[in-house]
């Protein structure tokens, strides 16, 4: 059951990224180019994605368990700190420079050629690098 759900949502997510044009870096960079030839497509993608997910959150409030019997995630504390905003700012910088975020970076694996592979490898390295820095910071002196 869990395997089917994972595969189905992954496949639909990937297909949505392709259909929406989000695996095309010119569309993503076009959205961020507010002071140039602005392309609003990403706003339609985000709007379209938020609709079914908002409905899912409303359903989730009335249920306590998922189909697989897992507890549905509780609302996290509304903590807006330097990690959240600093991380988002670093991400936004890289996102603008190439036009890829983590989802499209893997969805385009089969057709993104070597630039996609270089970006993906660097992204994974960045994730592992963060874990390394974070674990050292958290370790007792």
Q: How far apart, in whole angstroms, are the C-alpha atoms of residue 114 and residue 60?
A: 41
89 lies in the binding site for other proteins (CB under 8 A) = yes
User: Which two three-digit tokens encode residue 96?
Assistant: 């603008």
Within 22-61, which residues bind other proteins (CB under 8 A)?
22-27, 29, 32-36, 39-57, 59-60
Q: Which is nearer to other proteins, 79 or 139 (CB)?
A: 79
DSSP secondary-structure letter at 39?
A: -
74 lies in the binding site for other proteins (CB under 8 A) = no
Smallest gap from Cβ 141 to other proteins, in A, equals 21
Q: Which is nearer to other proteins, 64 or 139 (CB)?
A: 64
79 lies in the binding site for other proteins (CB under 8 A) = yes
User: Which two three-digit tokens encode residue 20?
Assistant: 């929406």
Q: Which of 13, 6, 11, 29 is nearest to 99 (CA)?
A: 29
DSSP for 59-113, written as a single string: HHHH-SB-TTSPBPPPPPP----HHHHHHHHHHHHHHHHH---HHHHHHTTTTSH
Smallest gap from Cβ 136 to other proteins, in A, equals 14
Provide the mask over 102-121, with x wherever binding to other proteins is found by CB under 8 A and - wherever it is not.
xxxxxxxxxxxx-xx-xxxx
Smallest gap from Cβ 97 to other proteins, in A, equals 4
Smallest gap from Cβ 89 to other proteins, in A, equals 5
């Amino acid at each position: 059951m869990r395997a089917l759900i994972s595969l189905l949502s992954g496949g639909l997510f990937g297909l949505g990224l392709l259909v929406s044009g989000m695996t095309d870096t010119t569309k993503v960079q076009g959205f961020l180019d507010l002071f140039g030839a602005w392309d609003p497509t990403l706003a339609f993608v985000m709007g379209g994605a938020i609709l079914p997910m908002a409905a899912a959150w409303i359903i989730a409030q009335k249920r306590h368990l998922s189909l697989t019997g897992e507890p549905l995630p509780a609302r996290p504390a509304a903590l807006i700190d330097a990690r959240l905003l600093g991380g988002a700012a670093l991400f936004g910088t890289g996102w603008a420079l190439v036009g890829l975020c983590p989802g499209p970076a893997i969805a385009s694996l089969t057709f993104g050629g070597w630039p996609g592979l270089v970006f993906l490898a660097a992204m994974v390295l960045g994730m592992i690098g963060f874990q390394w820095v974070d674990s050292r910071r958290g370790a007792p002196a």
